[in-house]
Amino acid sequence: MDKKIYSVSEITQTIKMLLEQSLPTLWVEGEVSNFKEHYSGHLYFSLKDSDAQISAVMWKSRAQFSDFPLEDGLQIRALGNIRVYEKTGRYQIDIIQIQPAGTGKLQAEFEILKKKLYQEGLFAEENKKPPPLFPQSVAVITSPTGAAVQDILQVLKRRAPYLNIYIYPVKVQGIGAADEIANALKLANETPFIDVIIVGRGGGSLEDLWAFNEEIVARAIFMSQIPVVSAVGHEIDFTISDFVADLRAPTPSAAAEMIVPAIEDVANTFNSLNSRIIYALNSYLEYKKQRILSIKNSYGLRRSADIIRQNIQRVDDLAYRLSLTSEGLISKNKEKINQLKKQLNNLNPETILSRGYSITFKSNKIVYDASDLKKGDILETKVYTGKVKSIVD
């Protein structure tokens, strides 16, 4: 009896049919590795766990609708179908949809929100408000039972015992924590005389710190009219709140140190400035003293009495010369006035009339031409000693 001989293609096709028909569309969870984005837009990578791995492909038509980027090390859940790639005889999962899983999901959400808020300008330096150099009142938004609040209070009381401290107790993790933090920020802004706000908590996992990655908290920090210092976790921890806040502190204790100078430092600075001011004043006064002594001993100042006497004599001389000049001018002007007076007197109509002349008027107007008169006109003739009325005949 002849043996049935299968070709490689037949075997591969049989395996392909068995796998693809027996396995439904399914979800698989694993870590992304060997990720590669082809120039065509298709995504090729592997999904692995501690014991195995499977090849995966996501075509461009589906990848372009994914709302977060893939990268090596990302933990995801993938919905897809098992397919056999006949060319290499390998099976792979043809992915329809992907979701972040566990910490990977939170990290993906973090990156998406970070990108969104950055594009809106919530991280822009020009929107940052510097805290005051010497705040008088500080609001602390944190858990009332955590270590962070004790660290902050200890530093503030040591560095600035004069400070007014307002504690706004909130949940810093779990359901409702983000809402409480956002409401506390709003309440602090409504409280009079608050100069700066510290919001934060101690360290923890990404899940523990997640309230400070919520959009509602980020927007509450951005909307605050009072400068906000974000003090979340340890130095290596970064949250969305850190990027939005006006100032980021690596730890809660560091936040307290950053917003208030130590009273000893203030005293030392004051003493240093006071010494510099006194030195500057003494130097200025000594300079002015030397200038006065120099002027006092100068040749010009020693001759001041002699200069005054000479100027008095000069004034007397000028006064005498002015007197002579004024008398001559008065005499000369008096003679000129008399001559003008004579000229005016000669031009006076009364003087002319006294020499036998007269002036004839018709209707109070001087008659210059006899041809302007007619029979019956009434005339008035002024002579030196009176008036004569007449009628033209």
Burial 169-178 (b: 16+ CB within 10 A, else e): ebbbbeeebb
Question: Which of 188, 187, 177, 248 minimizes the C-alpha distance to 217?
Answer: 177
Q: Are 54 and 92 in contact (CB under 8 A)?
A: yes
Strands 43-48 and 53-58: antiparallel
Specify the length of the chain in residues. 393
Model pLDDT, residue 14:
83
| Burial of 138: CB neighbours in 10 Å, binned 0-12, 13-18, 19+ | buried
- DSSP code, position 206: T
Model pLDDT, residue 385:
86
> How far is the C-alpha of 260 from the C-alpha of 229, rounded, in Å?
12
- DSSP code, position 122: T
Model pLDDT, residue 142:
94
> 330 φ, ψ to 5°?
-65, -45
CA atoms in the 13 A half-sphere facing the CB of 15:
16
* Residue spans per domain, the chain: 8-100, 111-261, 350-391
Name the CATH superfamily housing domain 8-100.
Nucleic acid-binding proteins (2.40.50.140)
Q: Are 190 and 165 in contact (CB under 8 A)?
A: no
> How far is the C-alpha of 150 from the C-alpha of 292, rounded, in Å?
62
Structure token pair of residue 99: 């979701």
pLDDT along the chain (393 residues), means of 10: 79 83 88 90 90 91 82 86 87 88 71 91 93 92 92 91 93 93 96 94 85 95 96 84 94 91 71 83 85 74 69 78 76 82 76 81 86 87 87 89
> How far is the C-alpha of 100 from the C-alpha of 205, rounded, in Å?
17
Question: Which of 151, 227, 169 minimizes the C-alpha distance to 194?
Answer: 227
> How far is the C-alpha of 338 from the C-alpha of 144, rounded, in Å?
112
For domain 111-261, give the CATH number: 3.40.50.261
Secondary structure class of 373 (helix, strand, coil): coil
Q: Are 19 and 80 in contact (CB under 8 A)?
A: no
Q: Are 111 and 62 in contact (CB under 8 A)?
A: no
Chain-centroid distance of CA 230 in Å reads 21
Structure token pair of residue 203: 């360290």
Model pLDDT, residue 237:
75
| Burial of 44: CB neighbours in 10 Å, binned 0-12, 13-18, 19+ | middle
